[in-house]
Amino acid sequence: MRPTPTSLAPPVPGPVPRRPWLDHWLESVKDLAELQASHPMVDAVIDEIDGRMIRVGEQWLADFASCNYLGFDLDRDIIDAVPAYLDAWGTHPSWSRLLGSPVLYEQIEERLTALIGAPDTLVLPTITHIHLSVIPLLAASGTIFLDARAHKTIYDGCQAARARGAAVRRFRFEDPEHLDELLTAERDPTRLVCMDGVNSMTGNPPDLPAFAAVARRHGALLYVDDAHGFGVIGERGVGITNPYGSRGNSIVRYFDETYDNLILVGGFSKSYSSLLAFIACPTPVKDLLKVAAPPYLYSGPSPVASLATVLAGMDVNERRGDALRDELERLTRRTLDGLERLDIFTPNRSGLPIIEIPLRDHGQIDSVGRFLFERGVYVTLAAYPLVPKDEVGFRVQLTAANTDAEVDTLLAALEELAARGVLRPAGELPTARSAAA
Ligand SMILES: Cc1ncc(COP(=O)(O)O)c(C=O)c1O
């Protein structure tokens, strides 16, 4: 039968069903929201601390969720240094930096520039401020090449840049060759590559020399966020026995790289236990950021206590930082050796103090978290959508202020979890992490 003309006519397009943005978002964060509402290890109120032991309600737990890698938050020399700064400067300057910066900022930037061996540095309150304001400026209306597994704050900075006319392309995690391919195919002359230094989940640094070489070959500026590496990893060389390197002067020095065509971002809020962050860049870029990066002009500054703990932390880093990094490396090695003995998989290949332990079944995150809580172990739960479903699990972080007894408690709990079969065996192939783009 010949179709009637009406049945040949294309369907009249009706309104495209669109879910409101909020519904979509609530659906994406459903797993996390459930944990937030009911889980003792998510959105917890910490009532008291004693060293790296914390009390949540009646329960004391060994804290493996802290990023205070060097233990500076508890360091007596640093705590004792703060009152003199408060006497001299009050609690909070409140000028935005463009209006006026206490000389403490100059002191921090000078010492930081010397420590990391960069051309210059500019400090602002947080890395989040830096990504959101600096990435759009550097990208302009050019093209950003974004690591597919970049930290959410880098991603948000790129989204802000996109809203102002930049294009964003993703390259596969840990894959400089893919970046090379994308850059080769790109006609846009303005190119910015954005990625993490030490990864906040895997604990592994990227192959910085390989990424830097690709970026330089294609005339792209490389922008690296080493929030977790600064204070932990640093320059290596003759006489330095710690595999983390010395001085904690971050990933560029760790790889003996240069700052040519490379912008380094780091923060004091992890290893230095202080609310402050920095961008290392040439002086002309710093001068541009002073007038064009909104936080320098529009945001409030860090509190004086944080400027004080940064300066006192730099003193302690000079005097005993390497001893603290030795202790951090020893505790981390004990933990990783324990995982190997128990046949537990972790993506950590670096030996750095961030140890992610994925579950066999993402649906067990709630019960595994409760088990760890009952055993007195506090970790970061990595629920969906913080990580892809096949990587749901928990993250253990070591600090120099943890003790051997705390590591024993952790390993005993992990042994029980491994015996129950909820963790992945070490021999199991990692999930298609690098294909996750
Ligand atoms: C890789 C990375 N970048 C940025 C941030 C955010 O840093 P800030 O608190 O200084 O904004 C974090 C915090 O956890 C992080 O892990």
Ligand 1 atom 13 nearest Cα: 227
Which tokens go with 93? Answer: 């300057």
State which of 130, 200, 352, 354 you would mutate to test the pocket of ligand 1, scoring each by most atoms of that ligand within 8 A of its C-beta.
200
H-state helical runs in 103-146: 103-116, 127-139
Predicted confidence (pLDDT) per residue in 331-381, tens digit? 999 999 999 999 999 999 999 999 999 999 999 999 999 999 999 999 999
Contact call for residues 200 and 347 (beta carbons, < 8 A) = no
Contact call for residues 286 and 242 (beta carbons, < 8 A) = no
Predicted confidence (pLDDT) per residue in 52-85, tens digit? 999 999 999 999 999 999 999 999 999 999 999 9
Rg (CA), the chain: 24
How many other CB atoms are found less than 10 A from the CB of residue 38?
11
The model's confidence at residue 435, banded by pLDDT at 50, 70 and 90, is very low
DSSP label at residue 238: T
pLDDT over threshold 70, residue 437? no
For residue 153, give the ligand 1 atom closest to its CA.
4
For residue 67, give the ligand 1 atom closest to its CA.
14
Q: Which amino acid is at 147?
A: D
pLDDT over threshold 80, residue 27? no
Dihedrals φ, ψ of 126, to 5°? -140, 165
H-state helical runs in 48-102: 76-89
Cα 224 to ligand 1 centroid, rounded to whole Å: 12
Q: What pLDDT, on the 0 to 100 scale, is given for residue 90? A: 97
For residues 253-272, give the mean pLDDT.
98
Coil vs helix vs strand at 53: strand
Domain annotation for the chain: domains and CATH numbers: 27-73+320-426 (3.90.1150.10), 94-302 (3.40.640.10)
pLDDT over threshold 60, residue 2? no
State which of 123, 126, 127 you would mutate to test the pocket of ligand 1, scoring each by most atoms of that ligand within 8 A of its C-beta.
127
Ligand 1 atom 9 nearest Cα: 126
DSSP label at residue 13: P
Which tokens go with 45? Answer: 């109120």
Cα 227 to ligand 1 centroid, rounded to whole Å: 6
Q: What angle do CA 293, 297, 302 make, to 5 degrees?
A: 100
Cα 332 to ligand 1 centroid, rounded to whole Å: 21
Cα 181 to ligand 1 centroid, rounded to whole Å: 29
pLDDT over threshold 80, residue 401? yes
Average pLDDT, the chain: 93
For residues 254-261, give the mean pLDDT.
98
Q: What pLDDT, on the 0 to 100 scale, is given for residue 26? A: 77
State which of 128, 146, 149, 154 you would mutate to test the pocket of ligand 1, scoring each by most atoms of that ligand within 8 A of its C-beta.
128
Pocket (CB within 6 angstroms of ligand 1): 126-128, 151, 153, 196, 200, 225, 227-228, 267, 269, 277
Q: What pLDDT, on the 0 to 100 scale, is given for residue 36? A: 80
